[in-house]
Amino acid sequence: MGILHLTRAVYEAIRDHGEETYPHECCGALLGRAADDGWQVEAAVRAGNTRTDSAHNRYNISPLELVKIEREARRQGLGIAGFYHSHPDHPAQWSPTDFAEAHWLGCSYVITAVSHGKATVTNSFRLEGATEEDKRFEQDTILVEDENIVLERC
């Protein structure tokens, strides 16, 4: 199991975004650096959900927006550690759709359940495997940290 290190600010930002877009799914990218045990996330970047046809249960980030997010990450000396999205009135567990559409091997996919407009559980799943054909999700441990102090283990 890998570790996803989040600052309190990033953790709250992810969850706040899900509450703001409820009853639709929110989405965004996580920028960070590889750590010995997983990812150290430095920032959460909101993205637009292009699935306006079915935003209550689908999300898609425009590739062009990802080009620009990657460009900004490079400028900051960071990489894309993963992505986040919300599940309105649905568990914080990856779905068959989440799995089918996951292609960033080694990155973490963070999901927040938003129940009746309130963020509840936030989980993270690392996309492991050597290729698209043997990919699998494995649950991360999320460590919420503030100035090297572990505030919360999720």
Binding site for other proteins (CB under 8 A): 25, 27, 29, 51, 54, 57-61, 63-64, 66-67, 70-71, 73-74, 79-81, 83, 85, 87-88, 90-91, 94-95, 97-98, 101-107, 109, 131-132
Place of tokens 């509840």: 120
Closer to other proteins by Cβ: residue 8 or 51: 51
d(CA 130, CA 110) in angstroms, rounded, equals: 20
CB of 62 to other proteins, least distance (A): 9
CB of 47 to other proteins, least distance (A): 8
* Residue 140 tokens, joined: 């991360």
Closer to other proteins by Cβ: residue 94 or 154: 94
Place of tokens 């999720």: 154
Q: How far is CA 74 from CA 68, 69, 80, 131, in A?
A: 10, 9, 9, 24
What are the beta bridge partners of residue 6? 144
Closer to other proteins by Cβ: residue 57 or 141: 57
